[in-house]
Structure formats: structure tokens, C-alpha cells
Amino acid sequence: MPPFLTANLRWLAAGFLLLFCSCFGQTFVVALSGGAIRREFGLSDGTFGALYAGVTLAAALALAGLGGLIDRWPAPRVVSLAAGLLAAGAALLALAPNLPVLAAALFLLRLAGQGLMLQTAYTLLGRWFSAERGRAVSLAATGLNAGQACLPLALVAAAAALGWRGAWLGVAGLLVVALPLARHLVRRERVPAAAERAGPSEGATRAQALADPYLYGLLAAMLPPSFISNTIFFHQAHLAESRGWSPEVLAAAFPPYAVATFLCLLAAGRLVDRFSALALLPVYLVPFGLACLVLGGVSAPWSAFAFMLLYGVTDGISLTLFGALWPEVYGTRHLGAIRGAIVAIMVLGTALGPFLSGLLIDAGVPFSGIVVGLGLYCLVVSATFCLVRRRLAAHLRGRRFAAA
């Protein structure tokens, strides 16, 4: 076993477990039950998209207030809160008798999984590691990779055997079992040694970060993977039905995607530690842009596999960037509060994808055309960052934040 992994196994395992469990509140898992939920509750694509967007927006607003807890509370307490809310959301979804309860369940899943548990894991990793932060984040983020590889097929199989409600009851039970292990792993803090620390010790406050206009340029580059994947995965049932694909086609494309993501995760960790997270921003979206053009332009089932492979390249890099970029730019002193605000902003953005695309589908716009447009968006953002990268890097190097 490599020395870095041996010396830091406890903290890397904690990040792995938290990020794996966060998958249960993310769109690529929740949307697997989307078709069954729409049929049982009599919802159209647009109506379900509006409901999902609404609860996601509400979760983002709640997360903006809860994100700073990891800066003030002990890590085990925050992990207990996140896992408890996520398990409650899964159980409530399984038992939901009507739309208000369904909305409450989706709100808890989005708040705890996509929000609190994800940002807690990345905040802890950013705080625990410094000079080798890229490698640490890339190794821990294989928890997301593992979830993306096995959970879609596992949930489809569980729903086939137990029904979609039974599958979500199983998710709730799994989260309850995982909680004690997660609490144990995060109970002990890792403090980077003085020789390991890189960069200035001061850190921005949340107000300083939000007042920095360049933050929103960085968000424009970091948003597409989650925004676009949320849109596509949320409407995956519609995409399969419109092309005559079986429900298993996209689910079967997740394992090769996971392989590509895993390999790019490991490579990205090394590249971030060598060149910086900022240096990867102009290029990492290009494969995803091409992936969307293929999926939108080709109706044969192989396009799903090509899409997922290319998406895996971008996603592997983005998972590392999301953990390494923000502490690199804004420090770690108030990282939980800053990351909570950043995640809230990103969730607000991603909420619009399923909602707007659902309205367009209801209005008769082909989903394939929507996907092509999203691919072009990726390529435009990438080209823009190629032009402004040096100016942005010079600005960020010149920023110094007073300790607060």
C-alpha cells in the first residue's frame, strides 16, 4: 500500500464514505425513481421538474445557513445531522402518501445529500490536507465514483424486486448502518504538518469571498458538470422513452463512466498538486461539451455509452477541482461557511436545469436539441477561460485576506 494512503487511511476513508452516501441525495440516483413517481402521483415532466426545482431551491437556501456549522461544530455532530436528515428523507420518500410529503422527502434528500453531506466531506478534506490536497481529494472522491458505478444498477435491481418504495426503505436502512462508522472516522482531526502546508495561512471570510467578482467567473466554470448532468439524468426516463431505449441502457452505461472517472480522478489529483486547480479550468469542460453533442445528435444506444465515457473524463477532474479550488483560492479559515454559500449558489443554478428543460419538453422542444445546446455552452465557457485565465490567475495571486 502506498505510504500516503497508509498514513492517511482514516481520513481518506472518512471522505470516501461521506461522498458515497451523499449520492443518495443526488439527482442521478433520485431520478431513477422519477418515472415511477410521476406515474404514481400523476405528474407531467414539467410539473415534476418544477416540484424538484422548488425543493432544490429551498434546500439551497437552507444550506446557505447551515454550511458554516462545520466551522463551529465538531465533525461527528455535523455528520450525524447530515446522515440523519438523509436517512429521514429516504424513509419519507418510501412512505410518501401525497404530494406535500413527497416534496418534504425530496427537500431532505437534496439538503442532506447534494448539500450538507457533500460540502462537509469536501470541507473536512480541504482542512485536513494542504500540500497534497489534490491527491487526497482525488482518492476520497472515489467514493462518489463508486456510488456512480454501482448505485444506478443496484437501485434499478432493488426496485424491480421490491418496488421503488421498498428500494428507498433499503436506502434509509443502509444510511442508519453507515452512521456510526462515519462518526468514528471523523472523530479525530488531522492537522497538516508545518512542512506540508502550502500557501498563505490567512483565509477569506464568507463576505469577502462573496464580494469578490472573480468568484462568479469561477462558478461559471465549475457549474456545468452538475447543472448539465442534473438536467440529463433527471429526464433520463423521458430520453429513454423518446428513443425507444430500455430503462437499463443509461444505467448500464454507468460502470464504464465510473472507470473513466476513476482514472481521471487519480490523474487530476497529481495535476492539481503539480500545476494548481486553476490551471485545469480552461480545458476540463471540453470532453463534456463533446459528450453532449454526441448524446444530442445520435439516437443509437451507443451514444449513451460515448456520452458517459466523455462525461467521466470531465467529472473525474471536476470532483478533484471542487475539493481543491476553493481552499486554494480562499484559504481554510472559514472554508465551511464559504463552501456552504458556494454550494448553495451552485444548487440554485442546477435547480433551474430540470425545471426549464421540463417546461421546454412540455412545450414540444426535443430533448436532444436541449442537450446539444448544453454541449455548446460547455465549449463556450472553456474557450472564454482560455482567454481570461492569465488575468484571473494574476488577480487571485494578488488577493490577501485579513485574518478574522
Task: List pLDDT tens digits, range 334-355.
Answer: 887 887 788 777 777 777 777 7
CA distance 258 to 112: 23
CB of 292 closer than 8 Å to CB of 307: yes
Write down the pLDDT at residue 281. Answer: 86
Q: Sign of dihedral through CA atoms 381, 387, 388, 390?
A: positive
Going by pLDDT thresholds of 50, 70 and 90, the confidence category of residue 398 is: low
Determine the CATH number of domain 9-188+206-398. 1.20.1250.20
In Å, how far are 115, 153, 220, 336 from 112, measured between CA atoms?
5, 22, 24, 15
Q: Which three cell numbers stand for residue 52?
A: 424538484
Q: What is the mean pLDDT of residues 277-281?
A: 84
Percentage of residues in the chain having pLDDT higher than 70: 94
- What confidence tens digit (pLDDT) does each residue in 108-155 have? 999 998 888 988 898 888 888 877 788 888 888 889 888 877 888 899
Write down the pLDDT at residue 83. Answer: 93
With a cut of 60, say whether residue 320 has pLDDT above it.
yes
CA distance 122 to 336: 9
Percentage of residues in the chain having pLDDT higher than 90: 31
Task: State the alpha helices, DSSP H only, in 276-301.
Answer: 286-297
In Å, how far are 73, 124, 136, 380 from 11, measured between CA atoms?
18, 9, 9, 38
With a cut of 50, say whether residue 317 has pLDDT above it.
yes
Q: What is the mean pLDDT of residues 251-269?
A: 84
CB of 71 closer than 8 Å to CB of 58: no
CA distance 242 to 89: 30
User: Strand, helix or coil at 143?
Assistant: helix
Nearest to 17 by CA among 137, 158, 127, 141: 141
With a cut of 60, say whether residue 286 has pLDDT above it.
yes
With a cut of 60, say whether residue 198 has pLDDT above it.
no
- What confidence tens digit (pLDDT) does each residue in 297-312 have? 998 889 999 999 999 9
A 10 A CB-CB count for 352 gives 16
With a cut of 90, say whether residue 104 has pLDDT above it.
yes
- Contacts for 85 with CB less than 8 Å, ≥ 6 apart: 108, 111, 112, 116
Please provide the average confidence, as pLDDT, over all residues in the chain. Answer: 85
- Contacts for 160 with CB less than 8 Å, ≥ 6 apart: none
Domains of the chain, by residue range, sit at 9-188+206-398
CB of 12 closer than 8 Å to CB of 323: no
How big is the CA angle at 145 (ends 140 and 150), to the nearest 5 degrees? 130
User: Strand, helix or coil at 130?
Assistant: coil
Nearest to 256 by CA among 214, 304, 211, 221: 304
CA distance 374 to 293: 8
With a cut of 90, say whether residue 21 has pLDDT above it.
yes
Backbone phi, psi, residue 289, to 5°: -60, -45
CA distance 66 to 61: 9
Highest-scoring range by mean pLDDT, 95-104, 179-188, 199-208, 251-260:
95-104
Nearest to 206 by CA among 64, 20, 105: 64
CB of 263 closer than 8 Å to CB of 141: no
Write down the pLDDT at residue 2. Answer: 73
